Amino acid sequence: MVRPSTRPTRVTAAVAAVALAVVAGAAGAASAPRAAAAAAPAVPDAPAASTTPDAPAASTDLPVGPVPVPGLDDVLGGPLGDAVDRVLTATGAPGPHRVPGHYYTSPGVPREVAESPTPVVGPSTPLVVGRELCTATVAGFDAAGRRVAVTAGHCGTPGDPVTSADAPERGQVGVVARVGDLDQAVILLDPTVTVTATYGDVTVTGLGGPTPAPMTQVCKTGITTGRTCGPVLEATPDYITAHYCGSEGDSGAPVLDGGRLVGMVNGSSTLLPSCVTPLQGDMHSPTVGATWTAVAEDLDATGGVGAGFRLP
């Protein structure tokens, strides 16, 4: 799973029971992968014209190779990795597989990002923070008018350089300014960076609000496992545990209820394996993340970079 947060790395026995029931029910009902459930009309933030919401839009995303991340080993490289790619392509999970050792369909580089004269950062932008691959939760402006982005706090430490994995040739786009108690990091972006509320197929239309009730479908989009959705298992004012797929590199990914940003990806409950291949179906660990409302309140209470965050 994603590198665990220092806070919510496991869930209660009640949540464990619900998670296992969800998995057992899915396994007994059918052998279809999780993408089939995500394609149902009830998924709140599925693109209207798409019948396969977990796949990137071919008309807007450019094909790309693996994300260049220093120190990230390809544990399924060479002939074995090629064989896995062929199997997954044949079973409806084609590439790009941008994170070595993981075989979900990763988002490609949005065409508008590739064609932009300036670096672009928004919700779900893949970021290399120091030597860690993570995903941006959201980008916008703080009360002082500074361009900022938010991701998971365990991705880096203050002073770490940040680049976009979708545009590494543009060099550094910002620096980690601060890390908070809820496992959130604020990135101070360069003034030349374009911040956006829409990045590829991900659009944030609102921030925070009511915490989703149990069994509400929420969705996340991360660089490693793409767009996946699942039911909320447990929710508190500070954290949400939900049974959607996540893995290494998805840390920080935006969690949406429709277009409303309700949280981010922080860690795994570690009850089941993290997501490596869609052939796992629902046999994967639930994911835990901080709520956006709690993150925003923490930023405002401590002041400084990121306080008074607003969308572009």
Report the CATH number at residue 259: 2.40.10.10
pLDDT of residue 65: 55
Please state, rounded to an integer, the average pLDDT across all residues of the chain. Answer: 80
Residue 185 sits in the same domain as residue 211: no
In a domain, 307, yes or no: no
In tens, the pLDDT along 264-279 reads: 999 987 678 889 888 8
pLDDT of residue 23: 39
Residue 178 sits in the same domain as residue 225: no
Give yes or no for a cis peptide into 254 (omega within 30° of 0). no
CB atoms within 10 A of CB 28: 8
Beta strand 206-207 pairing with 260-264: parallel
In a domain, 50, yes or no: yes
Q: Is the pLDDT of residue 204 over 60?
A: yes
More confident residue, 12 or 141: 141
CA end-to-end distance (rounded Å), the chain: 31
In a domain, 161, yes or no: yes
Residue 227 sits in the same domain as residue 242: yes
Domain range for 254 is 13-64+202-294
Q: Is the dihedral of CA 43, 45, 49, 52 positive or negative?
A: negative
In a domain, 96, yes or no: no
In a domain, 94, yes or no: no
Residue 56 sits in the same domain as residue 35: yes
C-alpha separations of 133 from 13, 100, 234 in Å: 31, 11, 27
Rounded percentage of the chain residues whose pLDDT exceeds 90 = 62
In a domain, 243, yes or no: yes
Residue 167 sits in the same domain as residue 209: no
Lowest mean pLDDT segment, chosen from 31-35, 228-232, 240-244, 295-299: 31-35
Residue 181 sits in the same domain as residue 245: no
Residue 151 sits in the same domain as residue 211: no
- Residue 236 CA to residue 289 CA, distance in Å, equals 11
Against a cut of 0.95, is the pTM above it? no
Average pLDDT over residues 146-164: 98
In a domain, 167, yes or no: yes
Residue 231 sits in the same domain as residue 253: yes
Residue 145 sits in the same domain as residue 160: yes
Number of domains in the chain: 2
Residue 57 sits in the same domain as residue 206: yes
More confident residue, 86 or 150: 150
DSSP 249-307: T-TT-EEEETTEEEEE--EE--SS---S-GGGTT-S--EEEEBHHHHHHHHHHH-STTT
Residue 178 sits in the same domain as residue 211: no
In a domain, 252, yes or no: yes
Residue 236 sits in the same domain as residue 169: no
